[in-house]
Amino acid sequence: MAKDFFEIIEQYDTLALFRHVFPDGDALGSQFGLKLWLEEAYPDKRIVALGDNENADSAFPISDTISDEALKGACAIILDTANVDRIDDQRYKLCDTVIKIDHHPVVESYGDLNLVEEQACSTCEVLTKLLMGVKDTCSKAAASYLYCGLLTDSQKFSIPSVSAQTMACAAWLSAQGVDISALNHQMFATDLKSFRFEAYLKNTCTIIDDQLIYKIIEQEEYERFGLSFIEAKDKVNAFAGISGIEVWALFTRNPNEEGHLYNGSLRSYRKTINDIANEYHGGGHKLASGVKKLTRLDIDELLSRLMKRIAE
């Protein structure tokens, strides 16, 4: 796999790195970690990281720009993105070759080369494994971006997909000088408006049979706390880590959607939920999925499906 990857990229003068829309720490970490690594390894190549800056965490650099003309004849490397609809910047289609690097369950093998490890807990893990086999060291800056993806997608190394391989990758990155404590703070420290919003979620959520927690949140509610739709829908883990709770969910009114429907984030302690999420315009990982375009009736139906799953 590594051999194919390097054989392909070595043929191109321009490498364009893409991520998914609404990028998380793994999408951004893999994109910028790979960008720095490639710039060190191939100083003569042009390497660009693309994607909308508006919804990206400001802890990461802003995206590069590149003309359509320059993308023609380039190699696209698409990170952490299961299906083509979610690729941020559809101009990947202009590129000559497409390489997919991912860890999501395979729904579309859209790459000319697909480096996908479904059992890996992050794309940064797939990437670190690839890169640590090539050179003994990398820069602290590249390692720090990759570590961010490992840390965030694994929820601080706490979910079932964390393996000996995850820890080996983390150990190798740590040996490159990553400041583990500073990155933990940077990725997980909350601001006061989020702290107040999470307290509100905990005070107003609904608990079904002491097994499922959910909250339906309206636009005026999150705006009252100074949060955007994107920031609000991210707070599902305010309900995480509670003994006895199997599934938790946050449904957030999407002001950008025709008809103002709800997007939802679903999380599960151990029961598979992505098959159910697939039926509600969503999908994702076994224990962490998203759903969208839901009416209140859809939400009721989805909640009863989840309760049935818990009982199975």
- List residues bridging with 102 in a β-sheet: 116
Query: Residues 25, 60, 71, 80: which binds Mn ion (CB under 5 A)?
Result: 80
Segment lying near Mn ion (by CB under 5 A), choices 44-52, 147-155, 171-179, 183-191: 147-155
Cβ of residue 80: shortest distance to Mn ion, in angstroms? 4
Binding of residue 26 to Mn ion (CB under 5 A): yes
For position 153 contacting Mn ion by CB under 5 A, the verdict is: yes
Half-sphere CA count of 248, side-chain side, radius 13 A: 19
Nearer to Mn ion, 155 or 186 (CB): 155
CB of 206 to Mn ion, least distance (A): 29
Query: Do residues 70 and 91 make contact, with C-beta atoms less than 8 angstroms apart?
Result: no
- For Mn ion, the closer CB: 123 or 265: 123
Size of the site for Mn ion (CB under 5 A): 5
Closest distance to Mn ion from the beta carbon of 285 (Å):
8
88 binds Mn ion, rule: CB under 5 A: no
Residue closer to Mn ion (CB basis): 104 or 253: 104
Our CB check for Mn ion shows the closer of 122 and 144 to be 122
The phi and psi torsions of 18 (rounded to 5 degrees) equal -115, 155
Question: Rule CB under 5 A: which of 223-282 touch Mn ion?
Answer: none
In the complex with Mn ion, which residue's Cβ is closer, 124 or 247? 124
Sheet (strand 283-284) strand order: 206-208, 212-217, 247-253, 262-268, 288-294, 283-284
Interacting residue ranges for Mn ion, rule: CB under 5 A: 26, 80, 122-123, 153
